[in-house]
Amino acid sequence: MNEFFIKLDEPVFRPPREHDSLIIQASIGCSRNSCLFCAMYKGKKFRVKMPAEIENEAARVPEYFRNGVNKIFLADANAFCIKTDDLLETAFVLKKYFVNNRFISVYANPLDIIEKSGDELKALRAAGYKNLYVGLESGSDRVLKLMNKAGSFKESEAAMNKAQEAGFVLSVTVLLGIGGKKYSGEHAAESARLINKCAPRFVNTLTAALYETAPLYNMVKSGDFEFASNCDIINEHYNFIDGLSVNRVIYRSNHVSNFIGLEGVLSKDKARLLESLLKFKNSREASNFINLKTGGNYEF
């Protein structure tokens, strides 16, 4: 549907859970675009689409397709940074054209959430915004600073609590490996502590990858950043889960970037998840990762 009726400024990214959603680009690129590990939006100049532009796109979708849409994902990177009035008008437009849509999901930086008042968040939730995908990346202030990602442990905690009080469902991401070898332990411990304080509905782990277009690439080549070895990352993954004490939180590490796919409900399935990681670490499959001559994930 998107390819034929709605023009997308590619590349476009969406969470795995949004595989069956209609993608609408309310913004192009990332409003911050400063994270050293990220290459997703480095080739895009950030801009916000006005609701009138979105309406023109929606109007081009034939009615018989519109009626089949029941989930909408609002791209790009952190479209939740858009002014509340424009987000509300966009929700009105989408409801006008996609009458069977049940809710809207969107990426949201913790700072985007904090910048909106409690009343604004409640109004957005009432307008149909439901799922916020939040890239925490780490609970460690030192790791966030190292990766040039704006924000802090306290700001992420405040953002998650504020959003959940307004009725949003949070799906948050922790990025394994971004602390490097030096901060691997701190990254795991502080990230688990952050999750324990806020208990979002969904917690996901991805594993850091190195792209030539990401600033981190040159840091690794110059020796300014030492990537954790694959064994370190497996241990980091174990320590992160081991540090979690939340209940009724759905945990997933099913992204292709991870060495092993895991899924369960914490804390009910915590022991099983840890056992699976230990078995993987001791398996022949894991040894193929751990014994790479580069001592890490990437070779130059």
Flag whether 87 is in a domain.
Answer: yes
The enclosing domain of 184 has a CATH number of: 3.30.750.200
Flag whether 128 is in a domain.
Answer: no
Flag whether 151 is in a domain.
Answer: yes
- The number of folded domains in the chain is 2
pLDDT band at 164, cuts 50/70/90? very high
149 vs 147: CA distance, rounded Å: 5
DSSP 151-165: --HHHHHHHHHHHHH
Average pLDDT over residues 83-102: 97
4 vs 7: CA distance, rounded Å: 8
198 vs 107: CA distance, rounded Å: 18
- Residues with Cβ < 8 Å from 205, sequence gap 6 or more? 173, 174, 175, 176, 237, 240, 252, 253, 255, 258
Domain co-membership, 143 together with 70:
no
What is the pLDDT at residue 129?
Answer: 98
Domain co-membership, 44 together with 171:
no
CB 52 within 8 A of CB 40: no
Bridge pairing between strands 249-252 and 263-266: antiparallel
Domain co-membership, 150 together with 39:
no
Q: Does residue 296 surpass a pLDDT of 60? A: no
Domain co-membership, 76 together with 156:
no
pLDDT band at 285, cuts 50/70/90? low
Average pLDDT over residues 248-261: 93
Domain co-membership, 139 together with 275:
yes
Flag whether 118 is in a domain.
Answer: no
